[in-house]
Amino acid sequence: MTIDSSRAESASAAQACGLSVPDTDTRLTELEIKASYADDLLDHLNEVVARQQQIDLLVREVARLNRQLGENAAASGGAGARDPRDEIPPHW
């Protein structure tokens, strides 16, 4: 089936439904535009979901590191956080 015969069949089907060919072409164009916008929106939403998943992963990682830091501070005798400027460099 060629494109021209397909259009002719579409035109005759549209006329049978009481629609003129320009109305059908206009509706088809509008549907294609809407489909294009919907496809673009879907791509955008997929990117947003992927970024949110990365954010969630990073939040969990920061929470884990904070717990680990607290555990290390407790294991060192509760001395709390030390200032690295007070420590002697390893080569002294």
The answer to whether residue 12 is domain-embedded is no
Alpha helical stretches, state H, the chain: 3-16, 21-75
Report pLDDT digits (tens) over 68-85: 988 887 777 655 556 777
- Count of other CB atoms within 10 angstroms of residue 14: 18
Count up the domains in the chain and report the number. Answer: 1
- Structural domain range at position 45: 17-70
> Would you say residue 7 lies in a domain?
no
Q: Hey, CA dihedral for 35, 37, 41, 44, is it positive or negative? A: positive
pLDDT of residue 32 exceeding 90, the answer is: yes
With a pLDDT cut of 70, the percent of the chain lying above it is: 70
- Domain-embedded: residue 82: no
In a domain? residue 35: yes
Q: Which pTM does this prediction carry?
A: 0.53
